[in-house]
Amino acid sequence: MSFQTPPWRLTVILLFATSVTPRSIAQQTAVSTDAVQVIGMTGVKNNSKGRLEITEGTLSFKSAKNSATVSVGCIDDVVTGRDSERVLRGPVGTDSMLAPYGGGGALSLMRTKLETITIKYRDSKGGLHGAIFTMHPGEAEAAKQALLAQGARTSIPASIGSDSSARPQSEEKEQSW
């Protein structure tokens, strides 16, 4: 039994592959999402909200006041994780804890899930930096894939599902709440 593919079919397959592949890579590599820069980006205040963009070999974070850029090639490690946070945060969240009849504790039950992406990178002098971003669920893994596609390295190449298995039990407990 022999498998002979007609030439016209091969041509169609090749044409389809060449037309689809570049677009899918381009879709994977460019990421733009809302994020909170927890710590680490030089010149950006801690816990500032902004836009995280990964395009053309650079990771940039733009907040309302400042912005910072890192070359993706300088990124030594990208790790994602999961967490949750109170819906009411900041001074309002702190004040709400004083609500009577256990109302503060009840308000704490209102939580939003979020994902974290942690990067380690080196500056022009060789100094090691680290930065942490939090973002909406599902976006950290896309950002990680975009960084890896553009030349960043990672110590944990697997997806987020297996990523969390290396994490402590207590965090799993917190995530489930």
Chain positions contacting other proteins, by CB under 8 A: 38-40, 77, 79, 81, 83-86, 94, 97, 104-105, 108-109, 111, 116, 118, 120, 122-123, 125-132, 166-168, 170-171, 173-174, 177
Q: How far is the CB of 28 from other proteins (least distance, A)?
A: 22
Q: How far is the CB of 87 from other proteins (least distance, A)?
A: 12
Nearer to other proteins, 16 or 65 (CB): 65
Which DSSP category does 33 fall into?
E
Residue 129, SS3 per DSSP: strand
**Which residues, in sequence order, are CB contacts of 120 under 8 Å at separation 6+?**
75, 76, 77, 128, 129, 130
Q: How far is the CB of 61 from other proteins (least distance, A)?
A: 14
Q: How far is the CB of 35 from other proteins (least distance, A)?
A: 14
Going from the C-alpha of 68 to that of each of 42, 51, 94, 166, the distances in angstroms are 7, 11, 30, 30
Q: How far is the CB of 54 from other proteins (least distance, A)?
A: 18
Count of alpha carbons within 13 Å of 152, Cβ hemisphere only? 31
Nearer to other proteins, 13 or 65 (CB): 65
Q: At what angle do helices 7-29 and 139-149 cross, to 10 degrees?
A: 110
Tokens of 133: 């971003």
Nearer to other proteins, 10 or 39 (CB): 39
Nearer to other proteins, 30 or 156 (CB): 156
Residue 102, SS3 per DSSP: coil
Residue type, 176: S
Nearer to other proteins, 22 or 130 (CB): 130
Q: How far is the CB of 55 from other proteins (least distance, A)?
A: 23
Nearer to other proteins, 11 or 167 (CB): 167
- With beta carbons less than 8 A apart as the criterion, state whether 34 and 17 touch: no
